[in-house]
Structure formats: C-alpha cells, structure tokens
Amino acid sequence: MSGLAEITDEEARAALLEAGRLLFARSCDFYFGAQKLEQVPPPGLPEIAFCGRSNVGKSSLLNALTGRNALARVSNTPGRTRQLNFFNLGDRLALVDMPGYGYAKAPIKTVQQWRYLINDYLRGRVVLKRVFVLIDSRHGIKEVDHDIMSMLDKAAISYRIVLTKTDKIKASDLSAVQTDTMTKLRKHVAAYPDLSVTSAEKRGGIEELRAAVLEAVAS
C-alpha cells in the first residue's frame, strides 16, 4: 500500500471547486470584439463560448462567474450584445460572449447577420473547447434553442446546457424543468449529459459552473 489516504468523491469535488475558484480569481479583461468573422482574432488561447436567447441573463452570469460587476454589459434591452466579445481570463483561456439569438424585434437584416456570425464562428473555431448554452429556467428549451443545439450536433461541437434565473421560479417547477431538459438532451448527440443550474443574482451554482468550465478546458 502507498500509505496515501484514498481521495473520496467529496474530496475530489472540493478540489475541483477550489481549482475553478482559483481560475476565475485571475484577471479578466476584454480584448477583442468582432461583428464579422474576418474580425475574429487568430486562434490562441482555449475558448469557452456562452450563447443563449436574448435576455437569458448571459451578461449577468458572466459577471457572476468572474466576480466582476461590469465585465459584460447588463441591459434590460434584449439583443444588446451585437458582436462576439472576447475576454482574456488570466492568460489561461478566453471567454466568448456571443450575440443573443431569437430577438424578434431586431431588424431582419440584423438577425441574419448575427446568425451568420454565430454559425461561422462555431463551425470553424479550432480552439473552441465547449459552448455553454444558456436556457431561461422559467421557459425551458424553445424551438430557437433546438435550432442552435441541432447546429452544434451537426458540427460535432460539445456543449453544455446552463439553466439561468433559477431563483425566479418555485423549487417544484425547477425540478420539472430539469427533468424535461434532461429528457430533451438525450436526443442531442453533442450535448454534455448533465446540467448546470444557476442564479447569477443569488450566486447559486456559480462555483459548480466555474468547475465545469475548468473541466471543459482540460478535456
């Protein structure tokens, strides 16, 4: 025997959470914005992208993840993010804030431009490690989410579902949404077989999401 104490699941989980905390304790700064594919910076650091329907709480979640109040601009106006925004996290990885999709009031031409940008970026980015697809827990997966998920399936891009705003619904309703979401995930071949359940406002699930990002980068 080695004499080393066996590492339990709980110890391994605590170690992973701590590693995630240390990762996101590093400096995090905006360094590039791209409205067209040709404006995207050359591949470098591993990238983790965040996407979701307009007003899903993406900016608030990024601020909570990084422990900053204004890293990503929070707006009550859906569709405010109109470009790919790149943030350097301590020279370890890049966080990519993608334009929100599914905002019906945006001009058709603008919606098409966003869609082309999202599609082109996701399909051709060799340093992209995983996409975190944000779903408003009050509404669950909608058709426009299925469209993005199907596109990721076809492109063989790994993605993980993140339920947001879980503080806004009852525990029983949240449980039902989690069950329904997991059922739908089984039909998507590139989906990670687990969920992240979060509340940016209450900081719920943020430590676990940091650990999930770290796992994705290491995979």
Of the pLDDT bands very low, low, confident and very high (cuts 50, 70, 90), residue 103 is low
Q: Which sign does the torsion angle of CA 173, 176, 178, 180 carry?
A: negative
Strands 84-89 and 28-34: antiparallel
Cα separation values, 96 from 20, 40, 65, 82, 179, Å: 18, 11, 13, 13, 28
Of the pLDDT bands very low, low, confident and very high (cuts 50, 70, 90), residue 81 is low
In a domain? residue 180: yes
pLDDT at 194: 93
Span 113-128, average pLDDT: 85
In a domain? residue 4: no
Q: Where are the alpha helices (DSSP H) in 2-142?
A: 9-24, 58-66, 108-124
In a domain? residue 2: no
Range of the domain at 190: 9-218
Q: Residue 138: helix, strand or coil by DSSP?
A: coil
In a domain? residue 1: no
In a domain? residue 208: yes
Of the pLDDT bands very low, low, confident and very high (cuts 50, 70, 90), residue 68 is confident
In a domain? residue 116: yes
In a domain? residue 75: yes
pTM, whole model, 2 decimals?
Answer: 0.90
Span 25-54, average pLDDT: 92
Q: Where are the alpha helices (DSSP H) in 85-154?
A: 108-124, 143-154
In a domain? residue 140: yes
Q: How many domains does the chain have?
A: 1
Q: What CATH code is carried by the domain that includes residue 110? A: 3.40.50.300
